[in-house]
Amino acid sequence: MLRRAISNLLSNALRYTPMQGQVRVEIGTTGALVSLSVENTGAEISPELLPRLFDRFFRADKSRSHPDSDGAGLGLSITRAIVQAHGGVAAVSSFDGKTRFTLSFPAR
For a pLDDT cut of 70, what percent of the chain falls above it?
Answer: 88
- pLDDT at residue 68 in the model: 52
Domain boundaries, the chain: 2-106
Mean pLDDT in the chain? 89
Could you tell me if 39 and 94 are in contact, meaning their C-beta atoms sit under 8 angstroms apart?
no
For a pLDDT cut of 90, what percent of the chain falls above it?
Answer: 77
Superfamily of domain 2-106: Histidine kinase-like ATPase, C-terminal domain (3.30.565.10)
pLDDT band at 64; cut points 50, 70, 90: very low
Q: What is the distance between the alpha carbons of residues 26 and 37, in angstroms, rounded to a whole number?
A: 5
